[in-house]
Amino acid sequence: MIEFGNVTRGLSEGKYLNLPLIYCDLDGVLVNLMKGANELILPLYPNVKDWTEVDKEERWKIISGKKDFWKNLEFMPNGIRLWNFIKPYNPNILSAYSKRDINSKRDKLLWVTKNLGRLPRKNILIVLRKDKKRFAVSDGTPNILIDDYDKNINDWKNAGGIGILHKSIPNTIGELKKLGFK
């Protein structure tokens, strides 16, 4: 058994282990931002293959002009599988909102409510990207961040947390199992 301080989490099978808190990103981990952005932007730019090739200001103008964009994004393929794996451990959602889209914070909260069920509001953290690292440690105990953006993972680790760079569902679940999650 891997122990992480005095953070106790109850498991659905009735056992208790000392496990770190889980913080899970949305975009690129649970939410398919790439698909939604490509479907919205590429019809307007037939000569590009990916939404990130469009000028940053222009693409954010398009996204911020789309009502309910963030709220209506789809799960990542197998994203529900990852969510079902971490859900028994009372995970936190930790996602960055866009300063370029005033609706992103509200819509991400609505996405969580619509797709992940009833989570305590204290477990849903929609912050500026630079502030994610503030949650890396609780009471001297390192927490886990699951994120697809390597800069977030590096910042998290540098702040004392445990980072899992999300590349695939099987890999992420495998890393969680190595840390004692079943």
In the predicted structure, residue 111 carries a pLDDT above the cut 50: yes
Rounded Cα gap, residues 26 and 30, in angstroms: 5
Angle at 131 between CA 126 and CA 135, to 5 degrees: 85
Rounded Cα gap, residues 148 and 142, in angstroms: 19
Measured on CA atoms in the order 116, 172, 23, 77, is the torsion positive or negative?
A: negative
> How crowded is the C-beta side of 38, counted as CA atoms within 13 Å?
9
Residues of the chain with CATH 3.40.50.1000: 8-32+71-178
Q: pLDDT for 67-98, tens place per residue?
A: 999 999 999 999 999 999 999 999 999 999 99
Rounded Cα gap, residues 80 and 85, in angstroms: 9
Query: Residues 6 or more apart from 156 whose CB is under 8 A from it?
Result: 132, 133, 136, 145, 147, 162, 163
Q: pLDDT for 44-68, tens place per residue?
A: 999 999 999 999 999 999 999 999 9
Q: What is the pTM of this model?
A: 0.88
Confidence at residue 17, expressed as pLDDT on a 0 to 100 scale: 59
140 to 5, 8, 89, 135, 136: CA distances (angstroms): 8, 14, 19, 11, 10
Confidence at residue 118, expressed as pLDDT on a 0 to 100 scale: 84
In the predicted structure, residue 4 carries a pLDDT above the cut 50: no
CATH 3.90.1150.10 assigned to 8-32+71-178: no
